[in-house]
């Protein structure tokens, strides 16, 4: 395995899956590319490139894994961006975070992860919402304790 792609939203919810992916990649000395699909109708000067690079820098610091890079995928919409990812010949594994959907989103838009799974031949690793919730640190409030 030489290249792992994480298709994400540059969200704090992407951190735990990326920690896992970096650990997996380290076993193979694989490159990890964090791809973020951006609507190409959006203004190119939104600063998303620097936001993505800063996000990946923080993941690099957190994990200590240096074979990590950010690459925006400019496309007409997320589905077409994911199709483009699926067509790339040099990707050995694609990882995604499955998101919970509201009822109307589920009815009309459906799951991007499920659609991606239908048109890719690349192995797909999906992090369910419960994985993210389970891996978040538990903070306990103990009231007004004085030291």
Residue 24 lies in a domain: yes
**Residue 42 domain-assigned?**
yes
Identify whether 143 is part of a domain. no
Query: Residue 144: inside a domain, yes or no?
Result: no
Q: Environment class of residue 79 by beta-carbon count within 10 Å: exposed (0-12), middle (13-18) or buried (19+)?
A: middle
Q: Which domain holds residue 28?
A: 3-135
pLDDT of 142: 41
Burial status of residue 25 (CB atoms within 10 A of its CB: 0-12, 13-18, 19 or more): buried
In a domain, 101, yes or no: yes
Q: Is residue 118 one of the residues assigned to a domain?
A: yes
The token duo for 75 is 């496309």
Q: To the nearest 10°, report the CA torsion of 53, 119, 92, 38.
A: -10
Per-residue pLDDT tens for 95-128? 999 876 544 444 444 577 777 778 789 999 999 8
How would residue 55 be classed by pLDDT, with cut points 50, 70 and 90? very high
Q: Does residue 146 form part of some domain?
A: no
Burial 109-139 (b: 16+ CB within 10 A, else e): eeebbeebeeebebeeebbeeeebeeeeeee
CATH number (domain holding residue 129): 3.40.50.620
Domain count, the chain: 1
pLDDT in tens, 60-83: 999 999 999 999 888 878 888 888
Establish if 44 belongs to a structural domain.
yes
Q: Is 68 helix (H, G, I), strand (E, B) or coil?
A: strand
Higher pLDDT, 37 or 15: 15
């Amino acid at each position: 395995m030489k290249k792992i792609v994480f298709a994400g939203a540059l969200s704090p919810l992407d951190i735990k899956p990326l920690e896992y992916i970096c650990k997996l990649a380290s076993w193979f000395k694989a490159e990890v590319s964090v791809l973020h699909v951006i609507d190409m109708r959006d203004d190119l000067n939104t600063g998303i490139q620097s936001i993505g690079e800063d996000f990946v820098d923080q993941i690099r610091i957190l994990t200590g894994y240096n074979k990590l890079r950010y690459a925006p995928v400019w496309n007409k919409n997320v589905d077409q961006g994911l199709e483009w990812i699926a067509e790339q010949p040099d990707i050995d594994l694609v990882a995604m975070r499955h998101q919970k959907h509201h009822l109307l989103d589920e009815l009309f838009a459906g799951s991007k992860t499920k659609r991606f799974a239908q048109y890719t031949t690349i192995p797909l690793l999906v992090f369910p919402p419960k994985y993210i919730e389970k891996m978040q640190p538990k903070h306990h409030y103990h009231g007004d304790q004085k030291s």
